[in-house]
Structure 1
Amino acid sequence: MIERDRPDTRAWVLHPDLVSEDRRHAADYALDEAVSLAHALPGLTVIGSSIVKLAKPVPATLFGSGKVQELADHFEANEVELVLIDGPLTPKQQRNLEKKWGVKILDRTGLILEIFSDRARTREGVLQVEMAALAYQRTRLVRAWTHLERQRGGLGFVGGPGETQIEADRRAIDEQLTRLRRQLEKVVKTRELHRAARARVPFPIVALVGYTNAGKSTLFNYVTGAEVLAKDMLFATLDPTMRRLRLPDNGPEVILSDTVGFISDLPTQLVAAFRATLEEVLEADLILHVRDISHPESREQKADVEDILGDLGVPEGIPVIEVWNKIDRLEPEMRDVVVRQAAIDGCHPISAVTGEGLDVLLQAVETGLGEGRSTDVITVAYDDGRRRAWLFDQGVVVSETGGEDGHVITVRWSPRQAAKFFSL
């Protein structure tokens, strides 16, 4: 972990540009994002950044020997203490580069783990990050005690020769992971109770999703009056936040959920670190996909978000409203073009800073919630009072009559409510 009491740690960001790979994001913008990630971590001073083109990665050092030496000289001349490599490193590559460069190295996974560790506030978030960090660390154990070829078992006269230091470290990590899992299970059960209590309140859930730094928290704060941390910074929001909100003109009440921002190439170890937030998305009645329309790679970011939503298994039928945020950052001519295109595409141009376009957006939310509901006729057995009571608690019952096999109930509900009912 980076020492928090060293605010002057001099860092350099490297983006390996694999020429052979067909990447969604241009190298320049990928480097800019990596630098923004570095700025999101306290205690670092980013003194420079660069792109290194690679024909193919070298198994031992990622970069070729000539480039490794060139970078070693450069880092020494600039008194670099930490190098952030925007991509995955194998344990072997990291170990070799640290030895050749004489600096500490973090790859993309390590950097995002550091940020998550610094930002997590809820008990579940902290536990998930600790588990992800331990799982990551477990793959990077090296022989740190070269003078101890093996730990001795007792005096060495009885039993086997003992175990290697690495095996002992892995066992210690596995034991800690087991303890964390047990703690997490207790926290998850508590959250499930809270969710069950919330499910009894018939308020639709509207989830804000989008690429990190798209302006979700600013939008959340503007419409709810909350004070969620909203900064021009990647991963400013990590833990899920929910607020009740009454839609304009005495409209219905909804629960608005702010979520962690998505990011391209999210390390697999980190997906569980904000699973609580993602579960709120899976239970949503409507999704607001917030885009930073002023960003040069807004389309690519949209594709990343859609990929992650698909991987999560968001149920079909949940309405999605695309929100084009930050139109206040556009030049007047480009702004007019964006507004016209949004009208053609059925999207909503807004400024979460000035509030422009939010009235129309909230009206669309009310309309979308209505369109996302279907009317169905179901039969509930006479002795199944629990499920019948749940329907009435949810306020979805339109009419009810008696039938041969049970209560014949006409309901108007959302896909989330239908899925929940059939799982009861």
Structure 2
Amino acid sequence: MSYFKTFFTLQNLRILFGLVLFSFPLRSQTHTDVPKPIIIETNTEIVSDFLWRGNSFAGEGQSRRNGAAYQSFTYAPALQPSINVWSPEKKFQFSLFGNFQLTNRDDRDSDRRLLQSSPGGVGPSYLGEETKFFDPYGQDPCVRSLHDRIANGNDGSDPCLGYSPNQGLGPKKEPNGNKRADGMFFSMSYHFEPSRFGDFAVGIWFYNTFQKTPNSLLSPGTQKQNSYASGGPNNTFNANNTDAITRLVWHEYFLHWKLPFLKIVKPTISYYTQYSTENGGLLAGKNYLSLSGSYTFREDHFFRIMPHFNFGYAMGNNAVDNRNGIQDITTSTSFFFGDFFIKFAHIFRPDLYLWDTNNYYGYAGGDPNKAHWNRSSEDGKVTNPSRIYGAYNTSILNAIEQSSTGNSLGDSIAKTWLREAYTLQKIPSHLFYVSFGFSKVF
């Protein structure tokens, strides 16, 4: 009997021990070892202009396209979707950003010349215009001859025989549609383990435009030769050329450092160094240093407010001008309603000499021969697009050039002053934009 009692007791212990094992699974079966999911952040915005680091990539180009003065606020709306993909440990980050302009996408005739053999080519703005004003170097004898026949009824030899460039003579559309600002941004970065010195991340990003051609890579790296562009044989690179695309691919390395103090406002120092392989890097920004931060009021509520700021300093604004200064002070405030938001932004450009160059705004009328029309690169003024093109403006500029008092020195000074007073405008130091968007995390 005692044997059966002992056996029964051992059996109970084995059963109890088995129940304990099943109640507390081995470590390999714990919940903590379930693979973590990746994190996907999406954001879709409609912005009033494509503004970044103080640059207006659509609005100012649209002003030149439409012959309008530069303004602090320009309506050039774009759709900007983006997606961030994080690894489960939030170490690796992959990002995609797109810009797709919504209006004024097609090219148009911006120089409003009556007769041209190619976009941006020489030609009169009105019948009867003196040849020395629209083709001073005799680059396009066919245009000159046709204009002379129409305006004055002259006969004579026809230099157009056997010559039909670009499918005939007439007004031409310049390459100025907003579609040329479309592009895709790709970024990948690695985030190190946080430490008492702060959070560090390193990465690389590319921006690729969709409107480009290898012909635009010819020296000086931004434009293709156009023998019918005014400016003489030594100035055959014209800003209205069909291949004059100054922004093809950007390529930057960067370092982010989230500071270990004042974490409530997320202070971050970022350093970017640019290496653009296309265009010979001539118009590429070289180095950009920024300090940014943000804070979210009512962070866990349906309605939230998030102010953000960025202070950016350029160390060599591009490889041609090589100017240093404060590139932008950007502030914005976003109002969130659940996953929807509206953002108001202001960009202050205090050092206008960074932007007061022909390499940023282009030559007067797209003509390198008129580089002297904007003599000073220190006065914060550039050519006003609304004062260059068309019969009305051209007639005024021609009248200024034809004025004479008999004193050549005095006439030269007076003509320069009158022309600059008429054509130049102050570069906007304040830019504004607004955006509507939707963000979601999966």
Report the TM-score when normalising by structure 2: 0.23
Query: Which one has the bigger helix percentage?
Result: 1
Query: Which one has the bigger strand percentage?
Result: 2
**Structure number with higher relative contact order (C-alpha < 8 Å, ≥ 6 residues apart):** 2
Report the TM-score when normalising by structure 1: 0.24
